[in-house]
Amino acid sequence: MFIDTQEGPTATELSRSPEAGRLLAAEQTGTPGAATVARPPIVTRPEWGANEAWRWWAPEYRVTHHLAVHHTGATTGGADPAAAVRSVYHYHSVVLDWGDVGYHYLVDWTGTIYEGRYGGPNVVGGHIRGHNPGVEGHCRAG
């Protein structure tokens, strides 16, 4: 399958964004229910160019008990890691018909973390939906 992932911000544009490096609102230290250790910066869905027209899945929530880390086994994603994230999103939401990206977060080859599954902390991921509630999934996206 061929996907044109060039529509959206580039990694360079993301790094220049005034919002780059900020935490998701629900994950900021001091927010009720947030971890006591500051979390790393996360590129939000609007920042990486998520096409919300592809998202039909309604969020479900469970308390997170475990962490799962996945590797795409793909190349590094080239010069534009945000395009690799958009590619994973299209594949999961449209091709696999999961209604959204399956993983909670995606990490590119530079270590940048991208918000994945819509819904924030404790949302059930699409890759385990119906099987292992309470497992939070993360993916290295190229």
Three-class SS state of 88: helix
Mean pLDDT of 118-122: 85
Please state the length of the chain.
142
Decide which of 133 and 47 is more confident: 47
Give the integer Cα–Cα distance in Å for 66 and 17: 32
Convert the pLDDT of each residue in 62-104 to its tens digit: 787 766 666 655 565 567 888 888 988 998 899 988 889 888 8
This prediction's pTM: 0.64
* Pair type for strands 113-115 and 105-107: antiparallel
pLDDT at 49: 93
Distance from CA of residue 142 to its chain's centroid?
13
